[in-house]
Amino acid sequence: MSKEETAASTSTMKTALSENMLFGMGNPLLDISAVVDKDFLDKFGLKPNDQILAEDKHKALFEEIVKRNKVEYHAGGSTQNSVKIAQWMLQKPHKVATFFGCIGKDDFGKILKKKAEEAHVDAHYYEQTEEPTGTCAACITGDNRSLVANLAAANCYKKEKHLDLDSNWELVEKAKVYYIAGFFLTVSPESILKVAKHASENNKIFCMNLSAPFISQFFKEPLMKVMPYVDILFGNETEAATFAKELGFETDDIAVIAHKTQNLPKENAKRQRLVVFTQGKDDTVATVGDKVTMFPVLDIDQNDIVDTNGAGDAFVGGFLFALVQEQSLEECIRAGHYAANVIIRRVGCTFPEKPDFH
């Protein structure tokens, strides 16, 4: 390679990343995490490893968890976690990641704004006064985490009041990779569809996550409306199994589920759908062309696992970091595994100052 060519190729790499290239939209929540015991889980009817939406019976849970010793507050919300991790792995330029969601005009809302700023994410929140900023109780037992989300303000996102505004829609148009967790289907499916259709019509990459079993069970209709626009679908083994059951795939073989999911109807034929299922410490399953391949995760000593909350979000964040740089599927998965490995050694979805990924 001549000097000119080398210079040209490095400069294309530099110009390859620009502000607002990665767009995320979802439920911004403040995570309240505490180590609890089995009695606490039983009292509120929680499974050790689950994600649910808070009901009236969980009101007391939020009051009780904040009184526990060593309670920690972290900026959370699935999509926000993922774009924040992608930005952390990219480091520079700042604000490659954009995030939209709804918060309240309150202290928790201020914390979320400050945390997004510290993470160099270009967050544009729709702020309203009807509901307080959403919270998520992360009830930790051993290496399990049971998440109870009280969406509150996050549930108040309005397409016409935020996404449709010219100044905001311009940020959507600037992106080339889009990621929205399935959790947002409970809030604003019309916002998701608008973004997904834009991506599809412009041959950009739209990614989604199955997020939790209850999404496939109770929000199957909006999920399947968006599915034709999904270029990359993420999920874990439990979510994949529930999705397969709801769609009548009649199999619990994760590789077969991945393959059948890949072949669901798709709008933009220029891109074959990619399906990526994580399985905790077991191999990550991904569709590669018409085949399904297993990718082993990084080894970790059980004693080094502090908290698995945010592991799935981190995997997606690492994946998006490589994807936005147009790297291969293998590299995207390797980056995802690295990010998840970092996150599970720490409380909440938090990370050291700089990544150590090569």
Q: Are 228 and 261 in contact (CB under 8 A)?
A: no
Q: Are 336 and 297 in contact (CB under 8 A)?
A: no
- Whether 164 sits among the annotated catalytic residues: the reply is no
| Active-site residue, from 31, 231, 307, 313 | 313
Structure tokens at 84: 């924040």
Q: What are phi and psi of 267, to 5 degrees?
A: -70, -60
Of 28, 75, 30, 311, nearest to 187 by C-alpha is: 28
- Amino acid letter, residue 12: T
Active site residues: 313
